[in-house]
Amino acid sequence: MTKNSGPAATRRGFLKAGLAAGGALAGAGAAQAGSGDPAITEIQPWNQENGDPVDAYPYGMPIEYEKNVKRRTVYWLTADPVSSINFTPLHELDGIITPNGLCFERHHSGAAHIDPASHRLMINGLVDKPLVFTMEDLKRFPRENHVYFLECAANSGMEWRGAQLNGCQFTHGMIHNVMYTGVPLRLLLEEAGVRTNGKWILAEGADAAGMTRSIPIEKALDDCLVAFKMNGEALRKEQGYPVRLVVPGWEGNMWVKWLRRIEVGDKPWHHREETSKYTDLMADGRARRFTWVMDAKSVITNPSPQAPLTHGKGPTIITGMAWSGRGTIKRVDVTLDGGKNWHQARISGPSLDKSMHRFYFEFDWDGRPLLLQSRAIDSTGYVQPTKDELRKFRGVNSIYHNNGIQTWYVNEKGEAENVEVS
């Protein structure tokens, strides 16, 4: 490859030799060194002047070249931006963690702005000793760290009747995956002493929606967290600062943000705008009730409509995410031809309970059109269904819990489109 032998006398020479070696190692789509590329033959401005001093940005932000990496909303979806939703840019991310500033937001009455010094969490109802905790009190209980996905039950809901939104950000972006630091709810409930007839909890938010959700006591005592940190720093306001409920593997609407009260009761409460949240209307008009666990699901994030294959034929990487509310992901399969042939993808990064998993599939693209799909299999053996399989028993009247297999059509130019195959 490179003919640049002898000691690299100049910094330019060093860069030239170094980059050529890197290209040879990767073995994919790299130019032959010595092609006269000014990016390698010319000294660049950042090589000639000092960069920013250490205190230029006391809280760092991404460089301007990454300005497309942002949450986006779909304005026609909801009537009012304070009772609305935006979407995580899944196609711009890698690994398994969602950065805090990119976590999708769903609010019923906007993001509350709470002074932590004036925030309290009360536990009342069927308990021996009703209690009120300050944020300082909460931080004196033993805490735990866990990575969990939060998926809104309405994620992919616009796709029930057919392929609609052109981008995985919009079809699958009502999800984020974060490391939470918090106190097990069990410890706080034990402190208050749950009475034997205490079978349910009501979690209530301090936002203007005063959102409330009923959760069975078994789940509350199992793995719920009262969390105050995400990815190591304080919760973002949008995600419930100063404290939110974490309900691992269960639909997002139960993860009450700006958590201010837990009431213990003997039956579930009736919630204001609630019945639709707890029920999925089926084909025959009956409803599925209490469908809280998020079933296994996956999506290819690259390529996808917002992230076309711009490099042409040759070595190509398919990547995406898979997750299950019932455990870990055991396997992900990928097809290039709409489900005729399946290939096992490679999972890379931690395989954690009720967390997103990252998968990759590397292949040599011959430049012909592709029908890309991914299919997740979780640790219970459950296989992600096709959309048609789901419709067979659920019909198309539901907007919740669509975990069907997603298809992207990729044309000869590498452009991708949301389609369905049957």
Ligand X SMILES: Nc1nc2c(c(=O)[nH]1)N[C@H]1C(S)=C(S)[C@@H](COP(=O)(O)O)O[C@H]1N2
For binding to Mo ion (CB under 5 A), which residues are involved? 106, 152, 252-253
What 3-state DSSP class applies to 180? Answer: strand
CA pair distance 413, 39, nearest whole angstrom: 26
* Amino acid at residue number 112: A
Contact set for ligand X, span 242-271 (CB under 6 A): 252-253, 255-258
Binds ligand X by CB under 6 A, chosen from 90, 185, 188, 211:
211
| Interface pick for ligand X out of 104, 170, 250, 365 (rule CB under 6 A) | 104
Among the listed residues 98, 102, 105, 332, the single contact to ligand X using CB under 6 A: 105
Q: Which is nearer to ligand X, 159 or 333 (CB)?
A: 159
CA 132 – CA 263 distance, rounded (Å): 12
Point out the residue whose Cβ comes nearest to Mo ion. 152
Q: Which of 16, 107, 143, 330 binds ligand X (CB under 6 A)?
A: 107
Least gap, CB of 123 to ligand X (angstroms): 17
In the complex with Mo ion, the residue whose CB is nearer, 85 or 102, is 85
Q: Which is nearer to ligand X, 20 or 153 (CB)?
A: 153
* Minimum distance, C-beta of residue 334 to ligand X, in the bound complex (Å): 28
Minimum distance from CB of 138 to Mo ion (Å)? 25
Cβ-based nearer residue to ligand X, 88 or 373:
88
* Partner in contact with 292, chosen from Mo ion, ligand X, none, beta carbon below 5 to 8 Å by kind: none
Cβ-in-10-Å burial (0-12, 13-18, 19+) of 336 comes to: buried
| 330: Cβ contacts below 8 Å, ≥ 6 apart | 377, 378, 379, 381
By beta carbon distance, the residue nearest ligand X is 205
> What is the rounded radius of gyration, in angstroms, for the C-alpha atoms of the chain?
25
Task: Write the DSSP string, 73-95.
Answer: --TTT-S-TTSEE-B--GGG--S
d(Cα 158, Cα 193) in Å, to the nearest integer? 43
Judge contact between 263 and 255, C-beta under 8 A.
no
Report cis status (omega within 30 of 0) of the bond before 99: no
Picked from ligand X, Mo ion, none, the partner binding residue 192 (CB below 5 to 8 A depending on kind) is none
